[in-house]
Amino acid sequence: MTERLAAAAATLLGLDLDEGRRVAAELTHLAAAFPLPARLGLGAAGGGLDVAARLLAGGPLARLDQPTREAVCTTLAHRPAGRALVEALKVPLLLAAAAAGPNGGPGGGPGGGPGVRSTVGDLAAPDPELSCVAVDDWPHRSRTDAVVIGSGAGGAMAARELARAGLSVVVLEEGRRFTAAEFRNRRPADRFVDLYRDGGATMALGNPPVLLPAGRGVGGTTLVNSGTCYRTPDRVLRRWRDVHGLALADPEEFGPLLDEVERTLRVAAQPVDVLGRNGELALAGAAALGWRAAPLRRNAPGCAGSCQCAVGCPRNAKNGVHLNALPQACAAGAVVVTGARVDRVVTARGRAVGVRFGRRLLAAPIVVLAAGAIETPRLLFRSGLGRHPGTGRGLAVHPTVSVAGRFAEPVVAWRGVLQSVGVEELHDDGVLIEATAGPPGLVSFVPPGIGRALRAELANADRLATVGAMIADQPGGRVGTRLVRYRLARSDADRLRLAIMAIGRLLFAAGAQEVLTGLPHRPYARDVIELRAAVATADIRQLHMAAFHPTGSAAMGADPQQAPVGPDGRLRGVDGVWVDGVWVADASALPSCPEVNPQLSIMAVALAVGRAAAAR
Catalytic residues: 549
| Type of residue found at 285 | G
DSSP labels, 380-412: HHHTT---STTTT--BB--EEEEEEEE-SS---
What is the DSSP secondary-structure string of 222-277? GGTS--B-PPPPHHHHHHHHHTT--GGGSHHHHHHHHHHHHHHHT-EEPPGGG-BH
Going by C-alpha positions, the residue among 541, 551, 605 that lies closest to residue 214 is: 551
Cis status of the peptide bond prior to 208, with omega within 30 of 0: yes
CA distances from 173 to 155, 201, 230, 535, 559 (A): 9, 20, 26, 43, 31
> What is the full DSSP assignment across 559-574?
-TTT-SB-TTSEEE-G
Q: How many CB atoms lie within 10 A of CB 269?
A: 11
Residues ≥6 apart with Cβ < 8 Å to 468: 400, 401, 402, 403, 433, 434, 435, 436, 444, 445, 503
Distance between CA atoms of residues 157 and 163, nearest Å: 10
Strands 169-173 vs 146-149: parallel, antiparallel or unpaired = parallel
DSSP alpha helix (H) spans, 349-486: 372-382, 452-459
Instruction: For 407-533, list the strands marked E by DSSP.
Output: 419-423, 431-436, 464-471, 477-479, 484-486, 514-516, 524-525
Q: Return the sign of the alpha-carbon dihedral for residues 33, 37, 42, 47.
A: positive
Euclidean distance between CA atoms 148 and 367, whole angstroms: 6
Sequence-ordered alpha helix ranges (H) in 101-219: 153-164, 180-185, 188-195
Pairing relation of β-strands 431-436 and 464-471? antiparallel
State how far the Cα of 148 lies from the Cα of 159, in Å rounded to an integer: 6
Q: What is the DSSP letter of 52?
A: H
Alpha carbons 173 and 375: distance in angstroms, whole number:
12
Instruction: For residue 359, give every residue at least 6 positions away whose Cβ sits within 8 Å of its Cβ, in sequence order, or none.
Output: 140
- Residue 348: enclosing H or E segment and its boundaries? strand 344-348
Q: Write the Ramachandran bin of 510: left for phi over 0, alpha for psi from -120 to 50, otherwise beta.
A: alpha
Q: What are phi and psi of 33, to 5 degrees?
A: -85, -10
- Residue pair 436/418 in contact (Cβ under 8 Å)? The answer is yes
C-beta atoms surrounding 331 within 10 Å: 15
**Parallel/antiparallel/unpaired status of strands 169-173 and 335-338:** parallel
Is residue 341 exposed (0-12), middle (13-18) or buried (19+ Cβ within 10 Å)? middle
Q: Which helix (H) or strand (E) holds 43?
A: helix 36-57
Q: Cα torsion at 607, 609, 610, 616 (round to 10°)?
A: 150
